[in-house]
Amino acid sequence: MPPTLDSLKKPADKLRTMPAALALLVLALALAATMSRTRGKETMGARIRPGGWTASFRPPRRFRSEQFGAVPVDLPYIAHGRTRSGADAILAVYRLDASAFADPTAVCDSVIRSNLRLRSGDPLTARRVRLDRRIGSEPAAEIALVDAGIVARALLLPSGEAYAVWLGVAGTPMDDDTYRLFDLTCLSFERDAVP
Which tens digits make up the pLDDT trace of 81-109? 988 888 899 999 999 988 889 999 999 99
pLDDT band with cut points at 50, 70 and 90 for residue 195: very low
Is residue 12 domain-shared with residue 50, that is, in the same domain? no
Residue-number span of the structural domain to which 35 is assigned: 5-41
Output 134 or 3, whichever has higher pLDDT.
134
Is residue 19 domain-shared with residue 53, that is, in the same domain? no
pLDDT band with cut points at 50, 70 and 90 for residue 116: confident
Is residue 98 domain-shared with residue 149, that is, in the same domain? yes
Is residue 149 domain-shared with residue 165, that is, in the same domain? yes
pLDDT value, residue 67: 66
Q: How many domains does the chain fold into?
A: 2
Is residue 29 domain-shared with residue 121, that is, in the same domain? no
Q: What is the mean pLDDT of residues 149-175?
A: 90
Residues 55-88 have pLDDT tens digits of: 899 998 888 887 665 566 667 888 899 888 888 9
Is residue 67 domain-shared with residue 31, that is, in the same domain? no
Output 191 or 33, whichever has higher pLDDT.
191
Is residue 169 domain-shared with residue 133, that is, in the same domain? yes
Residues 16-39 have pLDDT tens digits of: 777 777 777 887 877 777 666 555
Average pLDDT over the chain, rounded to an integer: 81
Q: What is the mean pLDDT of residues 158-177?
A: 89
pLDDT value, residue 165: 95
pLDDT band with cut points at 50, 70 and 90 for residue 186: very high
Is residue 140 domain-shared with residue 76, that is, in the same domain? yes
Is residue 91 domain-shared with residue 174, that is, in the same domain? yes
Which CATH number do you get for residue 86? 2.60.120
pLDDT band with cut points at 50, 70 and 90 for residue 8: low
Is residue 85 domain-shared with residue 132, that is, in the same domain? yes
Is residue 70 domain-shared with residue 98, that is, in the same domain? yes
Three-state helix/strand/coil letters over the chain: CCCCHHHHHCCCCHHHHHHHHHHHHHHHHHHHHHHHHHHHHHCECCCECCECCCEEECCECCCECCCCCECCCCCCEEEEEECCCCCEEEEEEEEEEHHHCCCHHHHHHHHHHHHHCCCCCCCCCCEEEEEEEEECCEEEEEEEEHHHCEEEEEEECCCCEEEEEEEEECCCCCCHHHHHHHHHHHHCCEECCCC
Is residue 19 domain-shared with residue 75, that is, in the same domain? no
